[in-house]
Chain A
Amino acid sequence: QKEVEQDPGPLSVPEGAIVSLNCTYSNSAFQYFMWYRQYSRKGPELLMYTYSSGNKEDGRFTAQVDKSSKYISLFIRDSQPSDSATYLCAMSAGGNKLVFGAGTILRVKS
């Protein structure tokens, strides 16, 4: 079993839709949860960062962490074609070592 599971998609939605991206994990030591966006042939860029459980909102993006269920989500409101990318969840138990999910390919159609 992988430490972090993420549905690779692709997920295709119309412009303006609400997008829900999810990851599950098995390591209860994870405390730091990140979402990265990666465009084709580019390095990942940090979108959202959450420590422990709870919600965090930043513009059109909302990150949720449920440690009791070992489940994290990223919601994108009013999705735009420019949001089309691969979204990677990543987790850490501390220090700087990150464990990534497989990434979900998102396509927003105009």
Chain B
Amino acid sequence: GAVVSQHPSRVICKSGTSVKIECRSLDFQATTMFWYRQFPKQSLMLMATSNEGSKATYEQGVEKDKFLINHASLTLSTLTVTSAHPEDSSFYICSAPVRGAGVKEQFFGPGTRLTVL
């Protein structure tokens, strides 16, 4: 199947700093990417839909000024957690559907574990 990578895989930062997470589709183009957050022993919660060349669409309750999303190209989306706080500590996962394919052709990255001290 197609490959989606995330970088970094793990990051530890101090409270108040900003952290950038990259999501790349390595062998296919993705006009849309999705960002999820997963707390321990809980399911994936969709945070936002990243759209290449336009603004991201955020789910209800997700602060767009805190979680900045940029979809700079057909293979790269970035999520920046601004002024991170301990409650932002979580596992962040992106997914990318193959352009033009159905919902089953959606591939997930390996995730980024963010720990805010």
Chain B residues closer than 8 Å to A46, beta-carbon distance? 1, 104, 106-107
Residues in A32-53 with C-beta less than 8 Å from chain B: 32, 34, 36, 41-46, 49
Chain B residues closer than 8 Å to A95, beta-carbon distance? 103
Size class of B's contact patch? 20 to 34
Using CB atoms and an 8 Å cutoff, list the residues of chain B in contact with chain A.
1, 4, 6, 32, 34, 41-46, 49, 91, 93, 95, 97, 102-104, 106-111, 113
Using CB atoms and an 8 Å cutoff, list the residues of chain A in contact with chain B.
6, 8, 32, 34, 36, 41-46, 49, 88, 92, 94-103, 105
> Which 5 residue pairs are nearest across A and B when measured between Cβ atoms?
A43-B108, A49-B104, A100-B43, A96-B97, A102-B43
CA distance A94 to B104 in the complex (A): 11
**Contact (Cβ within 8 A) B46 A98:** yes
